[in-house]
Each structure stands twice: as C-alpha cells, then as structure tokens.
Structure 1
Amino acid sequence: MKPIEFSKEERAAATAKLRAYFRDELDQDLGQLPADMLLDFIGREIGGFFYNRGLYDAQAVVKNKAEDIVEAIYGLERGET
C-alpha cells in the first residue's frame, strides 16, 4: 500500500492537534519532532485501519446510490399497451 502523504499545511494541522491533545488531556509537552514522529507512526502502523474504514463507508454510499438509481429506472418503465 502506498504511504499516506499529507501536504505541509495538513501535516502542520495534524501535529498541532497531537500537541494540543497531549497538552490538554495528558499534561505532557510534546515537541514538534516527537509530534512529527508520532504522526508518521500513526500513519504507518494504524492509518490503514482508518483508511479502510473510509473505503468501506464509501462503498456503502455507492451501493445505496446504485440501488436508488435502479429503483428510479424501474419507476420509468411503462406498462405494455
């Protein structure tokens, strides 16, 4: 699987969230380098679980929409005359 890559802005926002979480919830000061390393670890080791869940959710949406389309097409059928 291709590694998840973030833009510089996305990476900065994600590490800021990690640092704030550590500060607010754990009373720990997380420096920028450890935050970057933690983000890399999360992406590499558990990011796939989140990615796959997103794929499953997207598949469910597409399946439901396809069923709606099929129903709409049936609704367009005309009776035999």
Structure 2
Amino acid sequence: MPTKLTREQTEYLVLQVQRYFHAEHGEELGNLETEELIAFFSRELGPFYYNQGVQDSRKLLLERMNALEDELYVLEQPVMKKR
C-alpha cells in the first residue's frame, strides 16, 4: 500500500535529490523528473523499508511484553500452603 507524501515532503525530497545529483554528479534535474525518480524509488524501495519497520516494531513489542510479564510475576502475592 503506497503512502502518499504531503506536498511539503515532496518539495523537500525534490530539493534534496536535486542537490545530491548536482553535488555528486554535476547534473541538474528538473522538478518533474525528480518527482518521477522519487516515485520510482518509493515504489521499489518503500516496501523493504516498511517491512523492516514492521519487523522492528514486532521485536520491540515482544521485548516490552516480556518485560511486562516479568513485572506481573513480581506483583504476585505469596500463598501459604496448608499442611
């Protein structure tokens, strides 16, 4: 599911990509071709970064749930056993 960038985000990325191409390759890119390049990389790279974010979130959630489980065991009251 592709994410739609805000106009401000797109403008920022266009400027950054144009600066990069100018500094690293001495090339001047127009706004339209830069936006198309960003759209291409978003489609191709986006799912990889998204999936990594999901995996990172899953790992963090499991760590937090394990810590919470440990804290719940600490809250248990001792029970006296009858003989």
TM-score, normalised on structure 1? Answer: 0.88
In the TM superposition, 1:1-81 aligns within 5 A as 2-81=1-80
Task: Give aligned pairs, total.
Answer: 80
Q: Deviations over 1:40-74 (max 9, x none)?
A: 10111221111111111111111111111111111
Alpha-carbon distance, 1:36 to partner: 0.1
Code of the aligned partner of 2:78 = G
Which consecutive residues of structure 2, in runs of 5 or more, have no partner in the other structure? none
CA RMSD of aligned residues (A): 1.2
| Greater Rg over alpha carbons, structure | 2
Over 2 Å off, 4+ runs: none
Q: Distance in 1 between matches of 2:25 and 2:37?
A: 15
Q: Distance in 2 between matches of 1:53 and 1:26?
A: 30
Q: Distance in 1 between matches of 2:51 and 2:73?
A: 33
TM-score, normalised on structure 2? Answer: 0.86
Identity %, equivalent residues: 26
Q: Distance in 1 between matches of 2:25 and 2:6?
A: 27
